[in-house]
Structure 1
Amino acid sequence: MIVGGIAALVFVLSSLILPKTLAVLASMASTLYVTGAFHEDGWSDMVDGFGGGWDKPQILTIMKDSRIGSFGAVALVILLLAKFCALLEIDLLLIPVTLIAGHAFSRLCAVSLLRTLEYVRDEGKSKPLATGIGRGELAFAALTALLPLLLLPFQQAIIGVVFAVLATLWLARMFKRRIGGYTGDCLGATQQLSEVAFYCGLLCRFS
């Protein structure tokens, strides 16, 4: 919620003097700066590993490499472009709360893997979380993630949640099948893809 709030604030202030396109870009840049592109790095590493690795040891080795490969570079560009384009299509007045809701709910999606999958490295950025997450902690995470959704139109919020959950389930299934669990990069990748999926879901119209 804090990261999303920063993005929303930057967007609101930027939109006072800049076109919508540049205000959206400024809000995205602010989250990259605040988080150190932590989750985006996880996304590119995950795509590199799963795209270039044939078995579990190879996938984990590639993901651990600090260099970015062609799979990761292309995937990162597409992800950021998709996020930018999706936010541009959202109503101007809804963008601030959309950013808060998207950042909060996508992190719940990532946190859910701590409860459902096992950590597969002996060391790494997520090692302190390797024992999983308790029910109370998960409930608190869910509460903080679901509250911002109440500020969005009901039908749009539901579809956005469904899209984000489907993206999370797809990734979780792939992580389980290919490496037997998750790594820190998998968590970052889940946050990023579910965030974009959430924004895309908000834009869907069924008649």
Structure 2
Amino acid sequence: MTEPPSRPCPRLPARILADLAAGVRFYSRLPLPPLSAADDPAAPPSMPRIGWSVPLAGGLIALPAAAVLVAATAPGLPPLLAACLALITELLVTGCFHEDGLADTFDGLGGGWTRERKLEIMRDSRIGSYGSAAMIMSLVTRAGALGALIGFAGPLGAAGAFVAGRGVTRLAALGVMTMVPAARGDGMAAAGVPSRADLLPGLPIAVALTLALVAPAFGAALSLAGLALVAAAMVLMARVCLKQIGGQTGDILGATQQIAEIAFLLTLATAAGAKP
């Protein structure tokens, strides 16, 4: 009996494009056609496979919102309104992917008394008081921070910070997966749990993205401080979810991204507050 011919291994550029495209499709509603011979839009994502590309994919997804932010300031709209329009665009592009996780996390951790009840609430598609308040405050805080960044660094500087922040904070969310076990076997766990080695190539990409897009307007020291606060948010969420529910879920990862992004933007906003 003859063995079937082995499938040729895709070349590195084709594999890179495929991983990047898979990340964009997973985190957004953008309809991407196949980008290479190794890219299968119908294939389920594998986080161990595509984890390294998450900072780049997150940045690419944020480009439409960044373009709206820049365009909205051209006719003279106030910075806060331009920031709101950018966030609305991002919500449309991502389908409120991370915001939904933030709301479910706060509902579950705030409304449940036992591990089982917390997980049950987080699985419920309805949003309660804790979740509603968390989502509103996340949007208000990010809009206010972006408005401050526009006032300090101009629309291009703020757009660069937004793009970098959306990329690096998604990597931080995946980092929680490497620090604590899955609380249940479905959801994000079904896409595979990446190891620290899987995500390690994404770390220099995240740093380079931040230094390239943020440091010219805010300085290298403040840019690295923003990354340090992102890492702190990641560690904090890992400790909280381990204590509260014994592991992480997709909702926890979404909440981690939101909290890390707020920490990143607020760090940069201190430059606006210190401006004479």
TM-score, normalising length from structure 2?
Answer: 0.70
Judge conservation of contact 2:80–2:144 (CA < 8 Å) in 1: no
In structure 2, the gaps of 5 or more residues are 1-58
Letter in 2 for 1:16: A
The SS at the match of 1:204 is helix
Bigger mean CA deviation after superposition, 22-31 or 135-144: 135-144
Q: Which has the higher contact order (CA 8 A, sep 6+)?
A: 1
Per the alignment, residue 128 of structure 1 pairs with 190
Per the alignment, residue 177 of structure 2 pairs with 114
Please state if 1:17 is matched with 2:75.
yes
Judge conservation of contact 2:99–2:255 (CA < 8 Å) in 1: yes
Decide which structure has the larger Cα Rg and report it: 2
Judge conservation of contact 1:4–1:102 (CA < 8 Å) in 2: no
Judge conservation of contact 2:169–2:257 (CA < 8 Å) in 1: yes
The alignment yields a C-alpha RMSD, in angstroms, of 1.8
Please state if 1:141 is matched with 2:191.
no
Matched ranges for 1:146-185 at <5 A: 146-151=207-212, 152=215, 153-185=219-251
Task: Please identify runs of 4+ aligned residues in structure 1 that moved more than 4 A.
Answer: none
Following TM superposition, by how much is the alpha carbon of 1:136 offset from its aligned partner in structure 2, in angstroms?
4.8
Following TM superposition, by how much is the alpha carbon of 1:142 offset from its aligned partner in structure 2, in angstroms?
2.0
Aligned partners of 2:226, 2:196: CA distance in 1, in Å? 24
Per the alignment, residue 127 of structure 2 pairs with 68
Letter in 2 for 1:138: L
Letter in 2 for 1:179: I
The SS at the match of 2:184 is coil
Letter in 2 for 1:202: L
The SS at the match of 2:200 is helix
Judge conservation of contact 2:82–2:147 (CA < 8 Å) in 1: no
Judge conservation of contact 1:40–1:76 (CA < 8 Å) in 2: yes
Q: Percent identity?
A: 33
Please state if 1:5 is matched with 2:63.
yes
Residue of 91, 101, 108 corresponding to 1:32? 91
Please state if 1:51 is matched with 2:51.
no
Aligned partners of 2:230, 2:95: CA distance in 1, in Å? 23
Per the alignment, residue 193 of structure 1 pairs with 259
The SS at the match of 1:198 is helix
Bigger mean CA deviation after superposition, 178-187 or 14-23: 14-23
User: How many equivalent pairs are there?
Assistant: 205
Following TM superposition, by how much is the alpha carbon of 1:89 offset from its aligned partner in structure 2, in angstroms?
1.0
Bigger mean CA deviation after superposition, 133-142 or 73-82: 133-142
Following TM superposition, by how much is the alpha carbon of 1:141 offset from its aligned partner in structure 2, in angstroms?
2.5
Letter in 1 for 2:202: A
